[in-house]
Amino acid sequence: MSGPDAVALADNLRRLELFYGPRLAEHGTTHKAVGWLRPESQRVRFENLAVVAGLDALSVLDVGSGLGDLYPFLRARGHRGDYLGLDALPEMVARARALHPDARFLCADVNDDEVRVEADVVFASGVITFSEPDVARHTIAALFRSARQIVGFNALSTWDPAPAQPPVRPHDPLEILAFCKTLTPYVMLRHDYSVQDFTIHLFRGPHTPA
């Protein structure tokens, strides 16, 4: 299965810019700037990502970190390991740094093969929201390469009776899961918290969720 070409990756980045740029300009540093209608929706996604045993002491790479909202969420739950937020949009990174001066943020695209960052755990909330299937697979593989132990990511689901419309791109959970199983046999799919959304975890070995 061939991966996306440079044009497809550039188009994916452009969709991010077109979606988030106006929202940043209009909504500043609120949840609406990163596409959430309610902060509770974001919190539920974070809770389903963070079901990782022993997370408190593990290093975390937050891909598509946006305004860095995952950082205070994790800290409030007792996380004391290293945290690095990674986002492809410079304005997002600038605002995240201003909001969370004690955290580290890097402006880079995880789909760039020259980007080399690693952590024990890689989280990515909504990172394939605008991705066509080939780009989504490429992104998931990049997340897994960056993870020493665990990847957790979420996506919009085609199982929603009223699936999201363009520019966002829902994905078939079982198709995404099938690809993840080509990377590791240790996988977990959750679709019990929202009809619109699913979360997948990939592990490099056997793991019991917290």
Whether 52 is covered by a domain: the verdict is: yes
Residue 83 contacts residue 117 (beta carbons within 8 Å): no
Whether 1 is covered by a domain: the verdict is: no
Model pLDDT, residue 37: 75
Widest Cα–Cα separation across the chain: 45
Model pLDDT, residue 209: 74
Model pLDDT, residue 208: 81
CATH code where residue 156 lies: 3.40.50.150
Whether 117 is covered by a domain: the verdict is: yes
Model pLDDT, residue 68: 97
- Tokens at 106, concatenated: 């890097």
Whether 141 is covered by a domain: the verdict is: yes
Model pLDDT, residue 74: 98
Model pLDDT, residue 132: 95
Give the orientation angle of helix 90-99 with respect to helix 6-27, to 10 degrees. Answer: 50
Whether 54 is covered by a domain: the verdict is: yes
Tell me which residues of the chain have a pLDDT lower than 50.
none
CA 95 to chain centre: 18
> How many domains does the structure of the chain reveal?
1
- Tokens at 85, concatenated: 């937020």
Whether 208 is covered by a domain: the verdict is: no
Model pLDDT, residue 2: 60
The percent of residues in the chain predicted with pLDDT above 90, rounded, is 81
C-alpha count within 13 angstroms, C-beta hemisphere, residue 155:
28
Domain residues for the domain of 30 are 6-203
pLDDT per residue as tens digits for the range 87-113: 999 999 999 999 999 999 999 999 998
Residue 111 contacts residue 43 (beta carbons within 8 Å): no
Whether 138 is covered by a domain: the verdict is: yes
Whether 93 is covered by a domain: the verdict is: yes
pTM to 2 decimal places: 0.94
